[in-house]
Amino acid sequence: MSLVNKNIVVIGMGLTGLSCVRFLLAKGANVTAMDSRNELTLKLDIPLVLGELSIAKLIQADLIVLSPGVDFYTPAIQQAINAGVHVVGDIELFAQFNDVPVIAITGSNGKSTVTHLVVDMCKAAGKKVLMGGNIGVPALDLLEQSADVIVLELSSFQLETTYSLTPLAATVLNITEDHLDRHGDLASYQQIKLSIYQNCQFMVCNRDDILSYPTNCEATITYGLSQSSSGFSWDKDNACILLDDKPYIDSGRCLLVGAHNMLNIQAAAALAKVFGIDDDSIRQGAQKFGGLPHRCQTVSMFNNVRWINDSKATNVGATLAAINGLVSNLKGKLILIAGGEGKGADFTVLKQCFTQFVSVLITLGKDGDKIAALHNNNIKVETIQEAVLVAAKHSQSGDIVLLSPACASLDMFVSYQQRGDCFSHAVQELAG
């Protein structure tokens, strides 16, 4: 892809958009920036259009580069596409210029955990590894650095505008309803996720999740909690991860807990193995990784009650995974705090799990009432701080209090991180 003297419009001036601008300018392109906000504090040395997208400028462009947060189906962008303008994202630009092996990871839940696990396994083997995409560093910024392998976490928004990525190995961890307010329906969302397999050499697949499994092609290696004589599997009785039906990783030596994390470790191990990482390094990476903030993170054991911050659970599937992963460690009651911006999700799939495992349901936020309707013993609150106080009143030694909202945070917070931090601070204040 030659970019010299091309007229390129970059839409969205967040972290990714700014990295696109820097990259394109370095390649000699004529860049115009657009952002839907009416005001920006940053200063750019290129033309900048704020507010409503300029259809005239879009139609005149040789190429449009969309930031992940910008809807591909925005009418002005669709008009430009109909006029023959090509639209890509930062990952497509990355793919056009990258010559380093890529391990690509997507899925509704667990992406960041698996990405970090793969990185740690590669580092344990002495590999020079870079990580980015939907996590940490924008992908284009990685092109400036040397590496043996690049591990990319990819969202559906990024995959939607990616056509040329050729991963050495790729996986779709799972597919549950998410971002339907943007993608329209589950089938569309699924097809976008599955596109990660399109040009990859080794397909690493979750055999237990039919929606995440590639169609019209065979997996290179599979993983799952189900029994299997080949690939990775889980021996529940001995709490051990198996490879080809033989003991591989003793979960008792891992810092991560829960069935969902045993799946995450399997996925990471499979990706690392097809890349050529030795077994000892894979085990070392799996055993030393302690988890990420806001992802089933224990923040306190005050009064022998385990308080868990799972604020990153921004969809129904993540909350189901958290609850199902914790019940084997549950000695008392499970008190769940949930609610927020539901993004058009169907919450009714939570009902059976709530009935079976949740003793007290505390709800808040825009769609809190919809979630509350799923459980007879529900308590509605206005703030995270109030939710923590109510949970404390209903908890006793051996219980788990879990913040796992099944919703986005933007109705009440700047981000899921801020929501998780507010929860953690409230718990710390409770503990004195």
- Torsion, Cα 262 267 269 274, to 10 degrees, reads 160
Cα of 105 vs its chain's centroid, Å:
9
Mean pLDDT for 352-363 is 98
Angle between helices 259-275 and 316-326 (to 10 degrees): 110
Return d(Cα 419, Cα 432) in angstroms, integer.
Answer: 20
- Torsion, Cα 156 234 322 344, to 10 degrees, reads 30
Measuring CA to CA, how many Å separate 125 from each of 120, 132, 251, 278, 305?
9, 19, 20, 7, 38
Angle between helices 259-275 and 279-288 (to 10 degrees): 150
> What is the reported pLDDT for 21?
98
pLDDT higher than 90, residue 284: yes
Mean pLDDT for 258-275 is 95
Percentage with pLDDT > 70 across the chain: 98
Picking from 34, 35, 32, 42, the residue whose alpha carbon sits closest to that of residue 8 is 32
> What is the reported pLDDT for 311?
97
First to last CA, the chain: 59
> DSSP for 4-58?
TT-EEEEE--SHHHHHHHHHHHHTT-EEEEEESSS--SS--SS-EEESS--HHHH
Host H or E run for residue 139: helix 139-142
**Sign of the CA dihedral with 176 first, then 199, 129, and 246 last:** positive
- Model confidence, pTM: 0.81
Q: For domain 98-288, give its CATH number from 3.40.30.10, 3.40.50.10320, 3.10.25.10, 3.40.1190.10.
A: 3.40.1190.10
Asked about 134 being catalytic, the answer comes back as yes
Asked about 303 being catalytic, the answer comes back as no
**Catalytic residue (one of 98, 109, 174, 179):** 179
Let me know: does 294 contact 390? Beta carbons within 8 Å.
Answer: no
**Catalytic residue (one of 98, 109, 134, 174):** 134
pLDDT digits (tens, 9 = 90+) for 137-151: 999 999 989 999 999
pLDDT digits (tens, 9 = 90+) for 103-147: 999 998 899 999 999 999 999 999 999 999 999 899 999 998 999
Q: What is the CATH number of domain 7-89?
A: 3.40.50.720
> DSSP for 266-334?
HHHHHHHHHHT--HHHHHHHHHH----TTSSEEEE-GGG-EEEE-TT--SHHHHHHHHHHHGGG-SS-E
DSSP state of 136: S
In single-letter form, the type of residue at position 373 comes to A
To the nearest whole number, what is the mean pLDDT of the chain?
94
pLDDT digits (tens, 9 = 90+) for 168-208: 999 999 998 676 677 668 889 999 999 999 999 999 999 99
> How many other CB atoms are found less than 10 A from the CB of residue 185?
10
Please state the domain extents for the chain. Answer: 7-89, 98-288, 297-431
**Res. 271 pLDDT band, cuts 50 70 90:** very high
Mean pLDDT for 8-34 is 97
103 forms bridges with which residues in the sheet?
151, 169
Return d(Cα 69, Cα 312) in angstroms, integer.
Answer: 18
Return d(Cα 255, Cα 396) in angstroms, integer.
Answer: 25
> What is the reported pLDDT for 180?
66
Host H or E run for residue 171: strand 169-172
> What is the reported pLDDT for 373?
98
pLDDT higher than 90, residue 1: no
297-431, which class in CATH? alpha beta
Return d(Cα 271, Cα 64) in angstroms, integer.
Answer: 33
Token pair recorded at residue 310: 């799972």
pLDDT digits (tens, 9 = 90+) for 362-415: 999 999 999 999 999 999 999 999 999 999 999 999 999 999 999 999 999 999
Burial tier of 11 (Cβ tally within 10 Å: 0-12, 13-18, 19+): buried
Let me know: does 201 contact 168? Beta carbons within 8 Å.
Answer: yes
> What is the reported pLDDT for 432?
74
Mean pLDDT for 200-223 is 94
Let me know: does 118 contact 149? Beta carbons within 8 Å.
Answer: no
Picking from 221, 217, 215, 230, the residue whose alpha carbon sits closest to that of residue 202 is 221
pLDDT digits (tens, 9 = 90+) for 287-325: 999 888 898 888 888 899 989 999 999 999 999 989 998
Give 76-83's long-range contacts (Cβ < 8 A, gap of 24+). 76/52, 77/11, 77/53, 79/55, 80/55, 83/59
Host H or E run for residue 401: strand 400-403
Asked about 260 being catalytic, the answer comes back as no
**Catalytic residue (one of 98, 109, 111, 309):** 111
**Res. 259 pLDDT band, cuts 50 70 90:** confident
Output the furthest CA–CA distance in the chain (Å, rounded): 67
